[in-house]
Structure 1
Amino acid sequence: MEAENSMVKKLRRKFVKTAMLSLLVIIVIMIAFINLVNVHRLVSDADNLLVMLTDNDGEFPDMRIIIEGQGQSGGFPDDPEEDRKNPGGIGKGPKNPSSNDPNAFFTLEKLNDNRSREMPYRTRYFYVKFDESGEITTTNTQHIAVIDEETAQSYAQAVYENKDNKGFYHTYRYQQLIAPDGNSIIVFTDLSTALVDAYTLLFQSLLIGLIALIAMFILVYLFSGKAVAPVVESLEKQKRFITDAGHELKTPLAVISANVDVLELEAGKSEWTGSIRNQIKRMNSLVKNMLTLSRMDEDVMHVVYSDFDMSSAVKETAESFVPIAEAGEKNFRMDIEEEIHITGDKNAINQLTSLLLDNAMKYSSEKGSVHILLSRAKNIVLEVSNTCDSIPSGNLDKLFDRFYRADSSRSRESGGFGIGLSVARAIAISHGGTIEALKDGDRIIRFVVTLPKQLPKNLLARNAK
């Protein structure tokens, strides 16, 4: 039950993380898009306004021809030159007479018309004129309260010297128009209110996004149990099958081994009984590793964490491979630092060392070299390297995948199943460590295990239970 709950929690966490990350990306993109569009519209409206003001010598178009009686169009005549000077249609009346229908006041056309008519009274701006020699001839600050003539002239002088046609100066958007005779006008419009609105929209969209994330997290977490239930059930069936099959295989393997013993007693040892024993050994190793992986996946592997001398354990295991190295005419070197202690499971560390050395012996090149190194710095590092005829291309992390074999022909010859490195990684992870495969040139591959000196708190808590 504890293993099942642990598995469900892991899958639920992964499901929630994936869903929330996807939602976060979508919300960030939406917020960024909305605010960028808003800023672009703000700048575009300001530029249109400045074009109209600079083309009209710093003033809005003639407002005298405004509707004086209800039902009159009162607009400017359709004049292309006038349209160029007044791109926003500011000050113009509607081209179509408005009806007496009250709902007409809420149409887009009517709202835009009202906005255009009120624009001259809502816009805060000032302008400064220069002659052909760069001397200020006119300064107008009648349409803004926070800028005096001296400040307006200093702003305009700075823009004039930079020779920029348009841009931002503090919170003001400006436009400069140079006439053919060399005279110029620089118009500044105050965007403080628009920028405050933009900041408000940004804050509100971020707040809404945060609330949406929190609400979605609650909903996703509540329904994640149902979402992962089929996956949990499938994994449970797979693991139950592996565990049951592993235990069931032990009995016939034991019977076959006993029968071989009887045959050898009666007829003596032969090539055939030796072959049977090798296959029994392979099957026993496969069953053991499969059960180890299954138990580690279920977080119910029976391990006893304690402080022990890792140097002695690694050295003892490594020495058992000396005869194998000598038989294969391999150069086997051991560099094991003394008195390295670790908190962990001694049997698991022995198995880890054995798996890495067994892999190195099987896949090292003919009359090649195998090197085991144990050192201590910030963390404890166990490294096993070997020469090889060819190193798999691409990401070497795939070597730790279950049943992956880089060279199937060599695996058949050496009796490998492609599961040993998966078990090695599971053992490293169970001790709060990591394992990685690295290339050292074109002919050497290294397997580096990094382990903490002290067991992580979550593993200590599990061990205490």
Structure 2
Amino acid sequence: MIKQVRRKFLLISIMALFLVLLALIGGVTTVSMIRDDQEMNSVLTVLAKNNGNLLSKRAHKSFGANYKPDNMFKYRFFSVTVKNKTVSPKDMTHIYAIDDQQIADNSRRIVRQIKFAKRGKMRINGSRYAYYAVKKGSSYTVYFLDTYPLTSSTRSMIRLAIVIALVSLAFFALLIVAFSNRAIKPIILAYRKQQSFITNAGHELKTPLAIIAANTEMEEMLGKDDEWTKSTKEQVARLTDLINSLIRLARFAEKDELKLSRINFSEIAQKAANSFKSILSKDGKEYQVEIDPDLYVNAEPQTLYELCNILLDNAAKYCDDNGRVLVSLKPSKLSQTAVLTVKNSYAAGKNVDYSHFFERFYRADESHNSSKSGFGIGLSMASELTNAFGGKIKAGYDDGFFKITLSLRLKK
């Protein structure tokens, strides 16, 4: 239990930090990309307005206060003329990566692209260019701007941000791991006090119950054997069973108390299944068992046997009259887990909410006069034991059957 809380705390804390860093990097990247796109569009607009000249007075006015002549040389661009599906180079003096032949080779793509959109981006010979097509009479003048000089700083910043984020995540993860026990210390103390209280209270309650039982037996020996003494004995037995169940639940709650080893799940499941044959036969219920041999898991033998008994006892107890109980143990489809399935006929279970079945003291029948014995902690104990083994357990309804599925990882 405590280890699970610590793992969840670490996972949530690290995931929260990861999401914060991811949002931060994503926000910075988005802002940088928007800024780069705005700069590209601004430069292309100035080129179009000034016939491809970034050093003119009109260009100076267009850029405003941010205009510096020396900065204009960082932009690499060229322009072409498109007329009647023919592409002709216009100004190639501001770029060295593209020549006239490459323009001719990409003419069809250029024509197709500007028909689709007058502004956009396209690749030419592996390089990415932003373009702006301006119509002049029956022809177009298309200005192409190399995006690499504008986006290189953004890419460098993103790489640096990712490195810093990963280092920060690793550093803070180590800090969280180091201080996690201190962070969840109140939960640990409260949980241990709860477990200690259940165990101590259970043992303290056994003494007065034993005295009540002894007094009741003495009254029976003195000739006072009536419905009242019988009722008292039944309630004493009921309370004793409840106390024993609570104590077992408290003891099994911690994985550290169990010494896990590689054991034969098939043999234990078969042993548990055999012990219920006479009970189900006596109640007139059909019983079918299918267990694959030699399925090994990491568990503790006696505890796993008790876990199987809990599931089988639950099936026998809540099975419809003259119904069926089906037990199977098989490997999963990918042969990574051993899957124990316990099903019992349950005609009234179609619209039942099964999400609370593993909560302590939960019973599907809320009536205090239920004819079924038990306190609603058997499946809660099964859930605790399954968690101790690192497995999974779930309840559901399948074609007239209440079904519990227990999955434990196979140990080769």
Using structure 2 for the length normalisation, give the TM-score. 0.85
Structure 1 residues without counterparts, runs of 5 or longer: 1-5, 64-75, 77-85, 93-108, 456-465
* Counterparts of 1:37 and 1:332, CA distance in 2: 68
Post-superposition Cα deviations, 1:332-372, rounded to whole Å, max 9, x if no partner, equal 3132448657565443344323322332344334x251313
User: 2:78·2:91 contact (CA, 8 Å) conserved in 1?
Assistant: yes
SS of 1:414's partner is coil
Aligned AA for 1:424? A
Partner of 2:119: 166
SS in 1 for 2:349: coil
Q: Where in structure 2 are the equivalents of 1:342-421 lying within 5 Å?
A: 344-365=299-320, 367-377=321-331, 378=335, 379-391=337-349, 396-409=354-367, 412-421=370-379
Contact 1:374–1:382 under 8 Å retained in 2? yes
Does the CA-based 8 Å contact 2:350-2:397 persist in structure 1? no
Describe how 1:280-291 pairs up with structure 2 within 5 A: 280-291=236-247
- 2-side partners of 1:369 and 1:204: how far apart? 67
Q: Percent identity?
A: 25
Whether 1:208 aligns to 2:164 is yes
User: Matches of 1:137 and 1:257 in 2, distance apart?
Assistant: 107
| Aligned partner (choices 27, 30, 35) of residue 33 of structure 1 | 27
SS of residue paired to 2:189: helix
- Give the aligned partner of residue 428 of structure 1: 386
Change (3 A) 1:408 1:58: same
After superposition, residues 67-106 of structure 1 pair within 5 angstroms as 89-90=62-63
Q: Deviations over 1:424-450 (max 9, x none)?
A: 222333344332212113x32111223
- Higher deviation after alignment, 281-290 or 304-313: 304-313
Kindly state the Cα deviation for residue 43 of structure 1 after the two structures are TM-superposed. Answer: 1.7
1:22 shift after superposition:
0.5
Evaluate the alpha carbon distance shift between residue 364 and residue 158 of structure 1 in structure 2; reply closer, same or farther with a 3 A threshold: same
Spell out, residue by residue over 1:18-67, the C-alpha distance to the aligned partner (whole angstroms, 9 max, x if none): 1111010111011011112211221221112112212333333633xxxx
- Larger CA deviation: 348-357 vs 44-53: 348-357
CA distance in 1 between partners of 2:208 and 2:294 (Å)? 42
Q: Distance in 2 between matches of 1:434 and 1:228?
A: 24
Q: Report the equivalent of 2:141.
A: 185
Could you tell me which residue of structure 1 aligns to residue 13 of structure 2? Answer: 19
Aligned with residue 132 of structure 2, among 169, 175, 186: 175
Q: What SS is found at the alignment partner of 1:267?
A: coil
Q: Deviation of residue 407 (structure 1)?
A: 1.7
The one-letter code of the counterpart of 1:168 is: K
Name the counterpart of 1:98. Answer: none
Q: Which moved more, 1:15-24 or 1:330-339?
A: 330-339
Conservation of the 8 A alpha-carbon contact between 1:372 and 1:382:
no
Contact preservation (8 Å) 2:74, 2:149: no
**One-letter amino acid of the counterpart of residue 447, structure 1:** I
Asked whether the equivalents of residues 317 and 353 of structure 1 are also in contact (C-alpha less than 8 Å), the reply is: no
Residue equivalent to 2:79: 127
What is the match of residue 194 of structure 2?
A: 238
SS of the counterpart of 1:409? coil
Query: Would the alpha carbon gap of residues 60 and 154 (structure 1) be closer, same or farther in structure 2, given more than 3 Å must change?
Result: farther
Matching residue's letter, 1:310: I
CA distance in 2, matches of 1:300, 1:385: 31
Give the SS at the match of 1:375.
strand
For the residue of structure 2 that corresponds to 1:209, the secondary structure is helix
Shift of 1:178: 1.6
CA 1:303–1:44: 2 relative to 1, 3 Å: closer
Q: Decide whether aligned partners of structure 1 residues 35 and 161 sit closer, same or farther in structure 2, where only a CA change above 3 A counts.
A: same
Task: Return the offset for 1:287.
Answer: 1.5
Distance 2:301 2:287 in 1: 23
Question: Which of 410-419 and 388-397 deviates more?
Answer: 388-397
How many Å separate the matches in 2 of 1:56 and 1:19?
55
The answer to whether the 8 Å contact 2:270/2:291 transfers is no
- What is the identity, as a one-letter code, of the residue corresponding to 1:54? A
Q: Aligned equivalents of 1:192 and 1:312: distance in 2?
A: 69
Structure 2 counterpart of 1:71: none
Q: Tell whether the 8 Å contact from 1:311 to 1:341 is kept in structure 2 after alignment.
A: no
Contact 2:393–2:406 (Cα < 8 Å) also in 1: yes
Structure 2 matches for 1:145-156, cutoff 5 A? 145-156=96-107
Query: Following the alignment from structure 1 to structure 2, what is the Cα–Cα distance between the partners of residues 178 and 421?
Result: 76
- Moved beyond 6 Å, runs of 4+: none
Asked whether the 8 Å contact 1:50–1:175 carries over to 2, the reply is yes
Structure 2 regions of 5+ residues with no counterpart?
A: none
Deviation per residue, 1:294-349 (Å, 9 max, x gap): 112233546686756325422332135236x52xxx52313244865756544334
Distance 1:138 1:298, change over 3 A: closer
- Counterparts in 2 of 1:395 and 1:201: CA distance versus 1, 3 Å: farther
Contact 2:77 2:94 (C-alpha < 8 Å) held by counterparts: yes
After superposition, the C-alpha distances for 1:201-238 in whole angstroms (9 at most, x for unaligned) are 11011011112212322332333333212222211211
Q: Output the CA distance in 1 between the equivalents of 2:23 and 2:352.
A: 33
Match of 1:3 in 2: none
Q: Which residue of 2 aligns with 1:332?
A: 286
Q: How far apart are 1:149 and its partner, in Å?
A: 2.3
- 1:91-130 alpha-carbon deviations (Å, 9 max, x no partner): x5xxxxxxxxxxxxxxxx5xx243xx43433221110113
CA–CA distance in structure 1, aligned partners of residues 15 and 222 of structure 2: 68
Larger Rg: 1
Contact 1:374 1:383 in 2 (8 A): yes
Q: SS state of the match for residue 163, structure 2?
A: helix
